[in-house]
């Protein structure tokens, strides 16, 4: 494949109006050590409130583990009184928060920020491994320590701090600004009492495609690759499905076991060989081996953001190997490029549906052969695949295995169509055993937000204005470290192989970006989210405040529905499909 997509680097952008705000906040306040300590303590105090969500929590109002979120809401109101006085603050489903900063223009769509107030458990077994207790909110002058300090209370505190600073300058937006705060993002794939309810309210209020753009969390989004710094706004997410594979056979006593057990993994027990035993664990071992020996196909499809990232890396990076550079730019075959992506498991995750056998169950007693055994397999679905493609994969892979053993195959509730041309997968009538396939929590991969859209140019221009003039936009997917030292800053687009709360917001806007806007290099140990010693550097936290402060102002100055209007931000000029809005503001 020749990477011939057209993608232009956007200009560096700075707010053009209200330079008094830039002088007071960006040039003075954000650099003031006393103010930085204030912001640090805001985050530290938020960490001290253990807003933990667990898998399988009961309904809000019935499970008292939710009650700690009342305390967190009170903390926010006490910490940001000006925000609560001047913005509309709504509570949704007890603990979700919806902040609305009304703009003066009703003919432009709102800007939507997302965050979540919940955190993952700290893990009682690891408490002693923490440098400081996980909910101490310790601030040592350089880092704020504790669970949630990075994921995701840092983003929330930075957003509200930026808004508070703008309010203090009597800034009045043209465009309505919304902050939507969920409270169970960490609570498991099927659980959503927060973001889902918020999204429903916003859809009812603004309608399909009623929001200009959506900005949600990601990882620390400035990192080093090929001797160059890249910023990482995610423009898509992989899909998700859990598949249970269950084997059932008649049981028996362990004193007279079958000839073959879990040793079926050995080379003298070929997968395709008919085995006349009734040992579920042995059968399940064969199934696991089949699944792991037949991974999904790696593909670089055209709508994968990784393609744009690779092209921009080839054009602008300092240390990309020349043969890889030529492969990316199309002077060599695409096989070399695909081989490069396949060499590393994190890069490979960007171009392939992943497979992970995570849970295995079977057997109740040491002297009793299990009648039932099962595995739970997690798949993160690549852009080129689908939920149906994953189900078809299992039917095609396991049907021959079941037929050779005279097992009945029960696949996904007999959902059509399958390769045999019928509305049901192949089945057998023997009583030798059953092979059952079932799916849990099905989510297609997200829509891909275009990096060629003017709204992405606003985001990238803001990133360049905050983090450095040398920023180059280079879309890509999230996981995969490309192993290089750090200098100039580049922006890339990425896909993260997980799922954020944005999955409920897809209908609100075609442009959804996911990133945490700070330099990962501020913490030499790298991100610690979801593990021991999670912490947030104060330098990174202030970068987040700076970014949200500027992004609100820049998006407020433009509209994206009037093409061929020239926008002039900072020292760069370009033809752009944005139009300048009038500013309403404070008296100096």
Cβ neighbors of 574 (< 8 A, separation 6 or more) are 10, 11, 566, 567
Task: Report how far apart, in Å, the C-alpha atoms of 387 and of each of 349, 426, 576 are.
Answer: 17, 19, 38
- Is the distance from CB of 134 to CB of 125 less than 8 angstroms? no
Helix, strand, coil share (%) of the chain residues, nearest 5: 35, 20, 45
Bin 191: left if φ > 0, else alpha if -120 < ψ < 50, else beta: beta
The token pair that represents 193 in the structure block: 């009492």
Angle, CA 530 vertex, CA 528 and CA 535 arms, to 5°: 40
Q: Is 379 known to sit in a ligand binding site?
A: no
Angle, CA 324 vertex, CA 322 and CA 329 arms, to 5°: 95
Report how far residue 17's alpha carbon sits from residue 168's, in angstroms, rounded to the nearest whole number: 16
The token pair that represents 499 in the structure block: 């799922």
Q: Of 363, 409, 371, nearest to 249 (Cα)?
A: 371
Report how far residue 185's alpha carbon sits from residue 55's, in angstroms, rounded to the nearest whole number: 11
b vs e for 331-355, b when ≥16 Cβ sit within 10 Å of the residue's Cβ? eeeeeebbebbeeeeebbbbbbbbb
Report how far residue 509's alpha carbon sits from residue 504's, in angstroms, rounded to the nearest whole number: 11
Active site residue 185: yes
Q: DSSP letters along 51-108, please?
A: -B--TT---TTTSGGGGHHHHHHHHHHHH-HHHHHHSEEEEETTTEEEEEE--S-SSS
- Is the distance from CB of 240 to CB of 500 less than 8 angstroms? no
Backbone angles phi, psi at 267, to 5 degrees: -70, -20
Q: Which of 118, 385, 543, 557 is catalytic?
A: 118
Q: Map tokens 């603990």 to a residue.
A: 95
Give long-range contacts, CB 8 A cutoff, 24+ apart: 272-275: 272/400, 272/401, 272/404, 274/404, 274/405, 275/405
Q: Is 116 known to sit in a ligand binding site?
A: yes
The token pair that represents 430 in the structure block: 């023997």
Backbone angles phi, psi at 564, to 5 degrees: 65, 25
Report how far residue 89's alpha carbon sits from residue 323's, in angstroms, rounded to the nearest whole number: 55
**3-state class of 133 per DSSP?**
coil
Q: Of 513, 481, 509, nearest to 495 (Cα)?
A: 513
Distance from first CA to last CA of the chain, Å, rounded? Answer: 56
Q: Is 584 known to sit in a ligand binding site?
A: no
Q: Is 530 known to sit in a ligand binding site?
A: yes
Q: Which of 164, 184, 185, 523 is catalytic?
A: 185
**Element (DSSP H or E) covering residue 315:** helix 305-316
- Is the distance from CB of 484 to CB of 185 less than 8 angstroms? no
Cβ neighbors of 47 (< 8 A, separation 6 or more) are 135, 136, 137, 144, 145, 146, 147, 148, 149, 153
Report how far residue 350's alpha carbon sits from residue 182's, in angstroms, rounded to the nearest whole number: 27
Catalytic residues: 118, 185
Residue ranges for the known binding site for Zn(2+) are 116, 151, 186, 216, 530
């Amino acid at each position: 494949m020749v990477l011939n997509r057209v993608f232009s680097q956007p200009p560096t952008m700075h707010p053009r109006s209200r330079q008094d705000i830039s002088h007071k906040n960006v040039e003075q306040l954000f650099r003031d050590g006393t103010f930085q300590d204030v912001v640090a303590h805001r985050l530290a105090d938020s960490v001290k409130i253990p807003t933990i969500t667990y898998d399988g929590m009961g309904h809000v109002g019935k499970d008292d583990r939710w009650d700690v979120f009342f305390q967190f809401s009170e903390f926010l109101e006490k910490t940001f009184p000006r925000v609560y006085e001047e913005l509309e603050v709504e509570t949704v489903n007890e603990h979700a928060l919806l902040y609305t900063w009304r703009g003066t223009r009703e003919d432009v769509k709102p800007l939507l920020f997302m965050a979540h107030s919940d955190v993952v458990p700290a893990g009682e077994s690891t408490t002693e491994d923490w440098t400081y207790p996980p909910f101490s909110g310790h601030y040592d002058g350089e880092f704020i320590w504790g669970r949630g300090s990075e994921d995701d209370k840092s983003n929330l505190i930075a957003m509200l701090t930026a808004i508070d600073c703008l309010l203090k300058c009597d800034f009045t937006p043209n465009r309505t600004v919304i902050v939507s705060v969920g409270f169970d993002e960490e609570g498991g794939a099927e659980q959503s009492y927060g973001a889902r309810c918020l999204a429903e309210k916003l859809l009812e209020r603004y309608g399909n495609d009623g929001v200009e753009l959506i900005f949600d969390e990601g990882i620390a989004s400035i990192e080093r690759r090929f001797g160059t710094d890249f910023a990482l706004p995610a423009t898509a997410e992989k899909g998700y499905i859990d598949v249970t594979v269950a084997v059932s056979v008649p049981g028996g006593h362990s004193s007279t076991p079958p000839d073959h057990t879990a040793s079926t993994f050995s080379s003298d027990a070929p997968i395709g060989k008919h085995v006349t035993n009734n040992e579920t664990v042995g059968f399940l071992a064969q199934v696991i081996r089949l699944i792991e020996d037949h991974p999904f196909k790696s593909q670089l499809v055209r709508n994968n953001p990784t393609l744009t990232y690779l092209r921009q890396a080839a054009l602008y990076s300092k240390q990309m190997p020349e043969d890889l550079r030529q492969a990316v730019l199309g002077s060599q075959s695409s096989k070399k490029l695909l081989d490069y992506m396949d060499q590393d498991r994190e890069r490979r995750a960007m171009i392939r549906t992943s497979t992970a056998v995570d849970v295995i169950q079977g057997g109740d007693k040491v002297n009793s052969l299990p009648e039932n055994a099962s595995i739970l397999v997690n798949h993160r679905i690549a852009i080129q695949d689908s939920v149906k493609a994953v189900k078809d994969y299992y039917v095609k892979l396991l049907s021959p295995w079941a037929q050779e053993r005279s097992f009945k195959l029960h696949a996904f509730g007999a959902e059509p169509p399958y390769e045999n041309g019928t509305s049901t997968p192949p089945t057998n009538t023997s009583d030798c055993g059953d092979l059952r396939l079932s799916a849990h929590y099905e989510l297609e991969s997200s829509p891909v937000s275009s990096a060629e859209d003017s709204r992405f140019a606003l985001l990238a221009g803001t990133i360049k204005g905050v983090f450095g003039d040398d920023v180059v936009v280079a879309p890509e997917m999230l996981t995969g470290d490309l192993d290089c030292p750090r200098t100039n800053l580049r922006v890339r687009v990425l896909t993260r192989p997980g799922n954020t709360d944005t999955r409920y917001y897809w209908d609100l806007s075609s442009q959804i970006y996911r990133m945490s806007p700070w330099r990962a290099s501020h913490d030499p140990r790298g991100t610690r989210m979801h593990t021991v010693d999670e912490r947030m550097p104060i330098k990174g936290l202030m970068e987040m405040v700076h970014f949200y402060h500027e992004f609100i102002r820049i998006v407020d100055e433009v509209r994206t529905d009037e093409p061929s209007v020239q926008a002039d931000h900072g020292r760069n000029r370009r033809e752009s499909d944005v139009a300048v809005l009038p500013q309403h503001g404070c008296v100096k």
